[in-house]
Chain A
Amino acid sequence: MKHVIFMAWRYLGFYWGKTVVLVASISLILFLPAGLHVLVEQGADVLTARAEATPLLIGAKGSAVDLVLSALYFRPPHGEPMPHREVGRVDGSSLAHGIPLHLRFAVGRQRILGTTLDYAEFRGLTVDRGRWFAMLGECVLGSEAARALGVDVGDHVLSAAGSAFDVAGSFPLKMPVVGVLAPTGTADDEIVLVDLKTAWVISGLAHGHEDVSAAEEGDARVLRREGVAPQARTNTSNVAPEARPTTNVVASASVLSYTEITPDNLDSFHFHGDPADFPIDAVLAVPESFKASVLLRGRYETGEAPVQMIVPAEVVEELVDTMFSVRDWVLLGSLAVGVATAMTAALVFALSIRVRRREIETIQKIGGGRQRLAAILGAEILFVIVAAIAIAGMLTAVVSRFGEVAVRLVGG
């Protein structure tokens, strides 16, 4: 047997180019269906597990799949935002508790999730290092987000500007990292978690600047002063209305706007408008019971509400069914390609034996046994097939090991 292995090994090693091409092509044809199968199964598991852990989702009317991918896997939202009052509508029903989700912004490639601490409690998120955000402008990073951004507690991250050409749009906000979440193996590892109000600050709905209310007449920062009726006064979040001045000061562009929220300038940040109108992308509704869930769904289905309520598990089930259907077609195609590859490989081996006819005749002339000759040629084929199976197996194992991460990356 050792001579058979020796001869086969030497032949394959000497003609390594041909061997590599054969092994690679057979490996690929074995790996593609196996890898695809594993990837789709894992993708389905990841999608299903997270969807099943999310009872109800409310979002703007449109694609339910987009809504699920955005709210559960933090893909950029495509639909129009909806007003924050939808959270109050859910809470006011006494059937469920609403958790707002704001997903319009990102830090690098990591999506910023503006929400409340209820989200962390609902998902069972825990802080591995540091603490939860307590002040406007602070952020907590998912474990993978911290790794990807190369930051940790005590560092700062900068939100990406919404658009370079939109001067009225969002401006980068420098946010201190106060905590890093423990890994969960879910999409939550990829996020930059901030308070919902911080997300609104990034969107430009709130801002902070130098206090010019006490500025002297003639100060270059003040253009003019105007009287203002109490009901038209600016809404604020952090400053009590009675503390606000009864006159508006129209400031010039030389007033310094803050791009970072600190304890020193926190009081200067204020919101313009009614927070109930402020945008959010989805509401995660956590019903009190199954009955409450059914009742709440009924309200959204029968009414002419401008929003939709979906059950993520149902949406994902449809999505997974589609994935399986596509997978089956791809597997069918792979089978056809596999048959073609097997036939090609057989042809290569057959032609190879034909080309080696003189070599085979020489071996027989000098006393080489027919069985040993067949064993040598068989061993060459066996080595190629075993190597191809091993490589395909390793690739499938890699997909199996990192498939969930890949699914999350593709999803996010």
Chain B
Amino acid sequence: MIEVRNLAFGYPQGGFALSVTALAVAPGESVAVVGPSGCGKTTLLHLLAGILAPASGSVVVDGVDVAELGREDRQDFRALAVGLVFQEFELLDYLDVLDNVLLPYRVSPALTLDGEARQRAALLVEQVGLGEKRCSYPRRLSQGERQRVAVCRSLVTRPKVLFGDEPTANLDADNRDHVMDTLFRYRVEQRAPLVVVTHDRELHGRFDTVADVRELTA
């Protein structure tokens, strides 16, 4: 589960600051984070995922206080416990589909690429309907296909929590549903908390909770 208490964050150069008194996401719970542009949705997600370190307060994810971790440990924490899906997919052009899915294993010293991981990657690619294109490069894929690859990359390490930053913003309705179905299925199967930043009101109904950042920071 995710538990936030008295979280405070400000960028070193000043300007934007965020403070959240309390936020809790239970295992298997899905939360849609909403709010106007610039209100701190992505910043909050980065704090929960351990990408950013808070100035004060605690962010406990699966029993680990991320705020207490150093830079190296937060890196390992992200590699081992966090699955991240981005709006712009962020695939590497020079790796094919399967190698993009296996990227966390290539770049994180905390993960070991073994046969099981390879099998899992191949299975995930198959499940999202890209089995035939596992050797294709991102430039040859459609937007929806690229995001499906990105989702596979976020799931291949079997993360404890899942975060999505506008993962369906660039997709058509079919691909949007396909991506969200995959993320929700994983949430159910692994009882993993799912926190997604989204502007898409049509998706709100699928989430257990819709949290407005303005209310969280009030």
Interface residues in chain A, defined as those with a beta carbon under 8 Å from any beta carbon in chain B = 3, 6-7, 10-11, 13-15, 358-359, 362-373, 376
Contact = CB atoms under 8 A, between A and B. Distances in A.
B180 interface: no
Contacts of A358: 88, 90
* Most chain A CB within a 10 A radius of its CB, from B90, B104, B113: B90
Given A363-B107, A367-B82, A10 B75 contact: no
Interface stretch (B92-100, B171-179, B183-191): B92-100
B84 interface: yes
B107 A369 contact: yes
Given A11-B94, A14-B93, A3 B78 contact: no
Nearest to A361: B90
Contacts of B86: 362, 365
A10 B77 CA distance: 27
Nearest to A376: B107
A10 B100 CA distance: 12
5 contacts: A7-B106, A358-B88, A363-B103, A364-B51, A367-B110
Q: Kindly name the residue among A7, A358, A362, A366 whose own CB sees the greatest number of chain B CB atoms within 10 A.
A: A366
Contact of B90 (A11, A13, A362, A371): A362
B100 to A, nearest CB: 11
Nearest to B50: A367
Contact of B107 (A13, A14, A15, A368): A368
A395 to B, nearest CB: 29
B75 A7 contact: no
B43 to A, nearest CB: 13
A393 to B, nearest CB: 28
Nearest 7 Cβ contacts at the A-B interface: A367-B79, A14-B94, A368-B107, A367-B78, A362-B90, A367-B108, A3-B106
B142 to A, nearest CB: 20
B109 A369 contact: yes
B92 A359 contact: yes
Contacts of A6: 106
A372 B94 contact: no
Nearest to A371: B109
Contact of A3 (B90, B92, B94, B105): B105
Contacts of B160: none
Contact of A372 (B78, B84, B109): B109
Nearest to A14: B94
A352 to B, nearest CB: 12
A371 to B, nearest CB: 8
B68 interface: no
B72 interface: yes
A367 B94 contact: no
B31 to A, nearest CB: 20
